[in-house]
Chains A and B, each alone.
Chain A
Amino acid sequence: MKISYFPGCTLKTMAKDFEDSALASASCLGIELVELPRWNCCGTVYSLTSDDLIHQVAPIRNLIRVKEQEDNRVVTLCSMCYHTLKRANKLVREDKEKLDKLNNLMYREDVKYDGEIEVLHLLEILKNEVSFNQIAKKVKIPLKELKVAPYYGCLLLRPPEIGLDDAENPTILKDFLESIGAEVIDYPYQTECCASYHTVVNIDLVVERAHDILSSAIKQGAEAIVLSCPLCGFNLDNRQKEIKEKFSDFKGIPVFYFTQLLALSLGLDEKVCGFELNFVDPRPLLKSKHLIGGV
């Protein structure tokens, strides 16, 4: 199965491990993710201002790229790209006038957008088209005894009309993690916000929130966090440096992209997981569980 793939900027830089592990795992599961030519920024933060149409040009232009590929679907990995593209898509599907205006703004494009593209997250493809049962059958190294806490953050789930699962009681990551054999930890903070872009100007706030989230998971017995958003990843993983400075008793916990664990469980080469990009090195944990080689 071939499907258009929108990477987004972080996936090419800080979250290269996310992309590499996702592409390799998808290919192992029979899905070819075909990167869109000439993709641009997703728009990053969906603009809630009602007369701020210029901010919707970026996401809609990406959907025009998909249409040019004669595909009717596009897959994202980053939760924020997913949110921004899907929400802009919903806006123009429901407001013909705004769609016309956007098309007029992009009059030099060869095709006009008509709301026909479906925006999907890789998790949805895994759940609905591959199915978690099938994944379970292809798992070579079940992640037995690895206690993982799924972390959804906001943008995969909210607002409910955009989210890919129940905003209050999501299960998609849990179901996924169980299919690759991991032991899933339930904790109350899995849908709390990571503080997002406050990480640029208000590090203290991010440190506090990340500390609350991680400690709650650790308290419930989690050995690792699993997520799908590079920004959440940055706040929960890289900010552990500042967390340790502020909370001396904080021990640290590795943070994975869900595709890293998928690749691992499918028995793919450890290189595609790019563990060296993780701030908190997960390899000692994985070694202790005999999930990767070495001592």
Chain B
Amino acid sequence: MSRIGVFVCHCGLNIAGTVDVEKAAKFISNYPGVIYATDYVYMCSDPGQDMIKEVVKEKKLDGIVVAACSPTMHEVTFRNTVASVGLNPYRCEIANIREQCSWVHQDNKEIATEKAVQIIEATVEKLKLDKSLVPLSIPITKKALVIGGGIAGIQASLDIADSGYEVVLVEKNQSIGGHMLQLSETFPTLDCPQCIATPKMVQVGQHSKIKLLAYSEVEEVSGYVGNFKVKIRRKASFVDWDKCTGCGLCIEKCPVKVLSEFDEFLAKRKAIYTLFPQAVPNKPVIDSNNCLYFTKGKCRACEKNCSVEAINFEQKDSFIEEDVGAIIVATGYDLMDKAEIGEYGYGKYEDVIDGLQAERVLAPAGPTNGIPYRPSDGKIPKEVVFIQCVGSRDPEHYYPYCSKVCCMYTVKQAMLYKHAVPDGQAYVFYMDIRCNGKGYEEFLQRGIEEDRILYIRGRVSKIFKDGDKIEVWGADTLTGRKIEISADMVVLAMAMVPSQGVKKLTEKLRLATDEYGFLTEAHPKLRPVESLTAGCFLAGAAQAPKDIPETVAQASGAASKVLSLFSQDVFYHEPIIGSVDEEVCVGCGNCVSICAYDAVELDLATKVAKVNPALCEGCGACSAACPSGAMQQNNFGKRQIFEMVDAFAKS
């Protein structure tokens, strides 16, 4: 016979105001298996917990039910309480009589009391069959993988490496830096991103604890928290980076010119190229789609001019494997393609550019060294129209979300334009202005008051080319008038979207994404840097549109989560997971296909299902799918559920 104690909490008046707690405690004390029951005003308080400890010891209880709030609130509290006096924590159950009873039945105290008793009785029945479980302990490989070498990945890598742990940083381009290095200047202080980001890039390149794998992509991921195995593809650069001194002569001698991705197709680069002068690593790659040797079989000018014989046209992709304990995904964003926007010309007008192109147009290190020009003819534009929320906040056509940074970068771009062309006019069409960071509102006011940026509240309905002007038709919704502007250049603040290729990566990592492809955090408020996959963390715009300060903060947050994982020698995992009765299992494989975490597999030798306890998150889908009852969730066994249903049904 069990020796169960029941502790009914008043929760002030939250429960006691509706449920007659004294009566409930008295009633339940006569229930089979219960040898003690009492009530108390705040069970979670120190005196409440002390009382539980005393009773457990005094009455030699082998299990307790705390009838209180939701288990998400205080299950851990009470499990720790009983563990401190030697009772197995999994022999403590919570009967939720607040959210599921008193709060929803405030109009009928009698029925509420009756229901509270039933809930407690059912929980007692479950407890009778609860096993004493022990958390799994999993060893941890204390090395982190960071995917993406933008400012988020750089910050996270440095934070982890500075704490003494090894980091593998994988970047798909030939240099780290990401979009931040493309920017002209950064709001709200107007310092140049090169000045503030390149020191961090250099630190990454030189850090003894960071293994930087540029021009590489994650190919395969297996394993689980603490014990991931990662296969990384090192893309063929056709340059032996170990030999290359970064002298740049090959680039100078290359005869091919193609549009530069880094300059957002506004300027040219060579077929052998580095992204920008401060690149880390500062080593070139050959673009085999455009290189004369690869396309026509001749030239080899780079090879002839390389004094250290670093050029290797025969180079192939290679693969390396790394064992890591944690993964930070910092894959960043792209801008939505302006060719998708019909009313603004489907990207067919050269002088209608997107936000990142505007950054290159205005960048001191850009194609014209910061002198604003328009792409079609290189003239300095005298009238520039900025349109915000293009693709964002437009649920009917594109994306419902706010891209968050456009209000601020539009002020910045308009301001930089006005600084360079004081007699020019900058117009901004906006829906709302959302400048809600530190120093942001002041920055906007400075733009409006000092730099005379003209803000017009309303949307632009149509853009078309008329001669060498771009005609912009919009509405001023504050005056109710139609606005027509003959502009020289138009800048579209395009919606931010997850970066290309991230979908494939999320499949490899089994990461959840929202409907737009942004990575989903474990909890939107309380676990914003963790993913639902244990051991995988999120940083930067891969999770949602973010500006630089917020990205850096999140990257440090993700790094600190990795560090707290690495601070233990083993990782403890909840034991409430699926377990297989091998005598009963017929090996149908239902559980394998239903598992969202790839935690179940069929044992090839015995032909029965096998649960990987480290991967199992205890969702219970397998036990529901099992036709024979072989798969049972620990402490949520079929018999336990039936006993609970019986307890409800008989009264």
Contacts and interface: CB of A to CB of B under 8 A. Distances in A.
B491 to A, nearest CB: 19
A168 B342 contact: yes
A188 B464 contact: yes
A280 interface: no
Contacts of B464: 188
A169 interface: yes
The prevalent SS among residues of A at the interface is loop
A90 to B, nearest CB: 16
B603 interface: no
Interface in B444-496: 462, 464-466, 471
Contacts of A169: 342, 346
A166 B345 CA distance: 12
A29 interface: no
B511 to A, nearest CB: 34
A291 interface: no
By size class, the interface of chain B is under 10
A188 B346 contact: no
A167 interface: yes
Nearest to B466: A188
A167 B466 contact: no
A188 B471 contact: yes
B471 A167 contact: no
B481 to A, nearest CB: 15
B343 interface: yes
A168 B471 contact: no
Nearest to A216: B466
A166 B340 CA distance: 12
Contacts of A166: 342
Contacts of B462: 188
Contacts of B342: 166-169
B466 A168 contact: no
Contacts of B346: 168-169
A167 B461 CA distance: 12
B252 to A, nearest CB: 43
A25 to B, nearest CB: 31
Interface in A130-173: 166-169
B341 to A, nearest CB: 8
A168 B462 CA distance: 9
A189 to B, nearest CB: 9
B472 to A, nearest CB: 11
A188 B346 CA distance: 14
A204 B615 CA distance: 73
Contacts of B466: 188
A199 B487 CA distance: 32
A188 B464 CA distance: 6
A213 B515 CA distance: 42
A101 B2 CA distance: 65
Interface in A177-193: 188
Nearest to A159: B396
Contacts of B465: 188
A45 B617 CA distance: 58
Nearest to B348: A169
Interface in B329-376: 342-343, 346
A158 to B, nearest CB: 12
Contacts of A167: 342
Contacts of A168: 342-343, 346
B482 to A, nearest CB: 12
B345 to A, nearest CB: 8
B645 to A, nearest CB: 38
A167 B471 CA distance: 19
A168 B465 CA distance: 14
Nearest to B463: A188
B15 to A, nearest CB: 44
A188 B345 CA distance: 11
A292 B462 CA distance: 39
Nearest to A219: B466
Nearest to A220: B466
A196 B465 CA distance: 26
Contacts of B343: 168
A262 B127 CA distance: 84
Q: Which of A166, A167, A168 has the most CB of B within 10 A?
A: A168
A267 B592 CA distance: 70
Interface in A212-235: none
A62 B471 CA distance: 43
A166 B471 CA distance: 21
12 contacts: A166-B342, A167-B342, A168-B342, A168-B343, A168-B346, A169-B342, A169-B346, A188-B462, A188-B464, A188-B465, A188-B466, A188-B471
Interface of A: 166-169, 188
The 4 A-B residue pairs with the shortest CB-CB distance, nearest first, are: A168-B342, A188-B464, A168-B343, A169-B342
Given A166-B342, A169-B346, A188-B466, 4 more contacts: A168-B342, A168-B343, A188-B465, A188-B471
